[in-house]
Structure 1
Amino acid sequence: MDPPGLIRFRTGDLPRAHRLAAWEEHNARSLLGLRARALDDRPFEGTELNLRLPRLGLARVSGSPHVVRRDPDQIARHPAEGIVVYFALAGEGRFRDREGTWVLHPGQALVCDADRPFRRGFPHGLTELVLTAPRTALRETAGRCAPAGPRVFGFRDGVGKALASAVTGALAGHGDWETLESTVLGLLAGLLGAPATDRLAAARAYIDAHLHEPELSASRIAAAAGYSERQLSRLFAESGQSVPQAVLAARLDAARSALTDRNRARTPIAELATRHGFASPAHFSRSYRARFGSSPLRDRARR
Structure 2
Amino acid sequence: MSLGVFLAVLAAAFLHALWNALIKLGTSKAGGMLVLSIAEIPIGLSVALFRPFPDAHVWWWLIASGCTHFCYKSFLVFAYERGDLSRVYPIARGAAPMVVALVGAFALADAITLHEYLGVAVLGFGILLMARGVFTRGEDRKLLPFALGSACATATYTMIDGLGARVSGDAVAYVAWVFVVDGLIFTTGILLWKGFGIVPRQGKAWAVASFASAASYGAYAVSVWAMTVAPLAVVAALRETSILFAVLIGWLAFGEKMGVDKAVAAVVIVAGVVLTRL
Q: Kindly indicate which of the two structures has a greater share of residues assigned to helix.
A: 2
Point out which structure has higher relative CO (alpha carbons under 8 A, 6+ apart). 2
TM-score (norm 1): 0.19
Q: Greater Rg, structure 1 or structure 2? A: 1
TM-score (norm 2): 0.21
